[in-house]
Amino acid sequence: MPQMLYRNALNRALDEELARDENVVIIGEEVAEYNGAYKVTEGLWKKWGDKRVVDAPISEAGFIGMGIGASMLGVRPVMELMFFSFAYVAFDQMVNNAACVRYMSGGLINAPIVVRGPANGGTNVGATHSHTPENIFANVPGLKVVCPATAYDAYGLMKSAIRDNDPVYFMENTLLYGDPAAGSEIPEAEFTVPIGVAEVKREGSDVSLIAHGRSVIVALQAAEQLREEKGVSAEVVDLRSIRPLDEETVLASVAKTNRAVLVDENKPFCGVSAQIAATIQEKAFDDLDAPVLRVTSVDAPAMYSPPVEKEQIPNVRRVVERVMQLG
């Protein structure tokens, strides 16, 4: 079974869902004629035409609002943001409308919309294009937030997201699209990955590295270096979903290793790792042999300088150093 890149796995999932359900449409910036800013939608406009794959103007408040309205009427839109930083322009629609409509209608109206695109730093595009807002949207009841790290999970979670009756905000990473380290063998037969289920990507006994998105790849590389250079056996837990959060898998790993380092590209204040740390503190305190430590992005706007930004976001060296501080 050949390896498939992250972007190609997303493309296949989208293509199959367009074929499976005539209510699925793709709308976004450059998704059609130009094949997507990151080539995730390459070939889909040519195959499915103007009514199923639609280019939108650079007006996120407008087209995201339109997609939410369409989802309330039975359409299943997959909306692409060129950067998830642009979601802030549509924040009212994504939070006040999409997240609340099922609750406020007494369950009579659903909003089965997927909003997807890259949410990451590390590409040297400046502070306004490098936000990681998964923690912000995960704070809102009614929303689901997923952050796949591998092609396999990107494929399976995308299919689950499109079929879900709630809004799913699907946060990818520009650096993963063509990264062989994020590639996976993907079966020919279709499958789904359930939303809200974490996965142990690497078994270990000395410390749990808990991560999501590209930080999982960093954690896996750090785990290998820890084994080779320090004799440390690190377990890597991939959250996959931020909300709903699979606490059971996280707590089981901590009970096994008795130590945890959380790897998270969010900023440290009120980030995803802050929530995980609180969960471990509340529910697994007696299992800990050392404090829960974190490796996050440095608490400053995303830095434009390539060598500086590489140090701002989590990297292998920082993870290894943090693990060794546990003693």
DSSP labels, 305-324: SHHHHHHHS--HHHHHHHHH
Return the pLDDT at 86. 95
What are the residues whose beta carbons fall under 8 Å from the beta carbon of 59, sequence distance 6 or more? none
Return the pLDDT at 327. 77
Kindly report the pTM of this predicted structure.
0.95
From first CA to last CA, the distance across the chain in angstroms is 41
Q: Which residues pair with 79 in a beta bridge?
A: 27, 115
Contact between 147 and 240 (Cβ < 8 Å)? yes
CATH 3.40.50.970 describes domain 3-185:
yes
Distances (CA, A) of 136 to 9, 87, 140, 275: 27, 11, 7, 12
Q: Do domains 3-185 and 199-324 have the same CATH topology?
A: yes
What are the residues whose beta carbons fall under 8 Å from the beta carbon of 271, sequence distance 6 or more? 135, 264, 296
Sign of the alpha-carbon dihedral angle for 166, 177, 82, 126? positive
Contact between 79 and 41 (Cβ < 8 Å)? no
Q: How many CA atoms lie within 13 A of 207 on its CB side?
A: 31
For 163, counting Cβ atoms within 10 Å of its Cβ (0-12 exposed, 13-18 middle, 19+ buried), the class is middle
- 203: DSSP letter: -
Compute the 3-state secondary structure of the chain and give helix, strand, coil in percent, each to the nearest 5. 40, 15, 40
Return the pLDDT at 2. 73
Catalytically active residues are: 60, 129
Closest listed residue to residue 215, CA positions, set 160, 276, 139, 296: 296
User: Hey, what are 254's tokens?
Assistant: 């901590």
Q: How far apart are CA 117 and CA 133, in angstroms?
A: 12
Show me where the domains of the chain are located: 3-185, 199-324
Sign of the alpha-carbon dihedral angle for 84, 88, 91, 93? negative
Q: In the β-sheet with 241-243, what is the strand arrangement from edge to edge?
A: 53-55, 24-28, 76-80, 114-118, 168-172, 144-146, 241-243
Closest listed residue to residue 241, CA positions, set 127, 323, 154: 154
Q: Which residues pair with 263 in a beta bridge?
A: 211, 295
Low-confidence ranges of the chain (pLDDT < 70): 1
User: Hey, what are 135's tokens?
Assistant: 């923690």
Q: How far apart are CA 163 and CA 137, in angstroms?
A: 20
Query: What CATH number should be reported for the domain whose range is 199-324?
Result: 3.40.50.920
Return the pLDDT at 237. 98
Could you read off the pLDDT of 51-98 as tens digits, one per residue? 999 999 999 999 999 999 999 999 999 999 999 999 999 999 999 999
